[in-house]
Amino acid sequence: MKRFTAIVLAALMVFALSACGGSASPASDETAAVPSGVEDGVLTVSMECAYAPYNWAQSDDSNGAVPIANAPGTYANGYDVMTAKKICEANGWKLEVIQADWDSLIPGVQSGTYDAVIAGQSMTAERAEQVDFAGPYLYASIVCLTKADSPLASARGLSDLAGASCTSQLATIWYDTCLPQIKGADIRTATETVGAMLTALETNTVDFVCTDMPTAQGAVAVYPDMTVLDFTGSDDDFEVSDEEVNIGVSVMKGNTVLLDAINAVLSPMTADDFNAQMEYAVSIQPISEG
């Protein structure tokens, strides 16, 4: 909301200047610029807090968890929180985490309700039309999960999943782009959350689910009766572009100040750095999360 107010004030100033002058003149760069949102020294970041190992909610501040501003008494942790903390520490900002539903994340950045979204979002072209992306801050390959005792556990490619029932989370490339590539798959209604997706598999409501490798690793840590189906390197794998497996931080369109500050932190990091941080996130993930 702080950014939204600043934008409205800037717009009113432009209107007043044009009304007073005999002829219209271009707005100055300062007037036209999008506020960074961190003028107050606080980076407001939104995430689901229900998407382990990327992010989750817990009842205390153990393992470096931070308070969730709109959920008193609860704390956020996970890979995304660790990334947000690195960005804030490098820039001398205070971190504020807001819990929000997946579908409200991008609209929240667009409206200025949040300064940034760090929530395991793929850097797709469609999303890039709505927000600017910093990063990537992770590279996440696409895999499937099934029960270890399922006949599908021996699958060697997508064609081996034909006829099986499946689902994934709503409004993700897993559901919209990947599952339709499995010919003959029985694609069920998408789930609202990752937790609901994993519950569908655990309760045998579906035969398998599609997700990314970090989420699958976190799931297996919680549900040891699940196994990962990784067809990477085969000719019978998902076809995805880099933009669909590169995970980025979204900010308001035109917010170059914040974009550059975040990229300055993320750019020196390597895939090994990302993987090591994700490995740690999986290791501290609460057993109740899925």
Q: What is the CA radius of gyration of the chain?
A: 21
User: Cβ–Cβ contacts within 10 Å for residue 171, how many?
Assistant: 14
Report pLDDT for 23. Answer: 37
What's CA 254's distance to the chain center, in Å? 20
What is the structure's pLDDT at 263?
98
pLDDT score for 288: 54
279, containing H or E segment: helix 271-284
- What pLDDT score was predicted for residue 33? 77
Report DSSP letters for 5-23, one per residue: HHHHHHHHHHHHHHHHSSS
Cα distances (angstroms) measured from residue 44 to each of 83, 94, 99, 131: 13, 9, 11, 16
Give dist(CA 189, CA 166) in Å, integer: 9
Q: Provide the pLDDT for residue 2.
A: 45
HSE-up of residue 83 (Cα within 13 Å, Cβ side): 35
- Placement of tokens 């499937």 in the chain: 144
Tell me the domains of the chain and their CATH numbers.
34-137+247-284 (3.40.190.10), 142-231 (3.40.190.10)
Task: Please report, in tens digits, the pLDDT of each residue of the chain (290 residues total).
Answer: 444 344 433 443 333 333 333 333 333 344 347 999 999 999 999 999 999 999 999 999 999 999 999 999 999 999 999 999 999 999 999 999 999 999 999 999 999 999 999 999 999 999 999 999 999 999 999 999 999 999 999 999 999 999 999 999 999 999 999 999 999 999 999 999 999 999 999 999 999 999 999 999 999 999 999 999 999 999 999 999 999 999 999 999 999 999 999 999 999 999 999 999 999 999 999 875 43
Cα separation of 84 and 49, whole Å? 13
Q: What is the pLDDT of residue 17?
A: 36
- Residues 114-151, buried b or exposed e (16+ Cβ, 10 A)? bbbbbbbbbbbeebeeebbbbbbbbbbebbbbbbeebe
Name which of 109, 41, 52, 44 is nearest 80 in CA terms: 52
The three-point CA angle 80-135-115 to 5° equals: 60
